[in-house]
Amino acid sequence: MSLFTRTAPAPAPETWTPEGTIVSQRYRALEGATVLLYSADADRGVVYYAVACLGCTHRADRNTAGNLMGEPDAAKAANAHAAACRSMPRGVPARPDDTAAAELIRTRLWSHRYGKAPYPVHLSDLNALRVDLQRSTDWIKALLTGLAQADPGFITAEPTSSGQGVRFTVQPFDRP
Q: Answer yes or no: is 87 within a domain.
A: no
Q: Answer yes or no: is 58 within a domain.
A: no
**pLDDT one-digit tens code per residue, 102-144:** 999 999 999 999 988 999 998 888 999 999 999 999 999 999 9
CATH number of the domain that 136 lies in?
1.10.10
User: How far is 3 from 114, CA to CA, in rounded Å?
Assistant: 59
Q: Answer yes or no: is 124 within a domain.
A: yes
Q: Answer yes or no: is 4 within a domain.
A: no
The length of the chain is 176
Q: Which residues form the domain of 124? A: 98-170
User: How far is 128 from 140, CA to CA, in rounded Å?
Assistant: 14
Q: Answer yes or no: is 139 within a domain.
A: yes
**pLDDT one-digit tens code per residue, 43-86:** 667 899 999 999 999 999 999 999 999 999 999 999 999 999 99
Answer yes or no: are the C-beta atoms of 130 and 117 closer than 8 Å: no
pTM: 0.85
Q: Answer yes or no: is 65 within a domain.
A: no
What total of structural domains would you count in the chain? 1
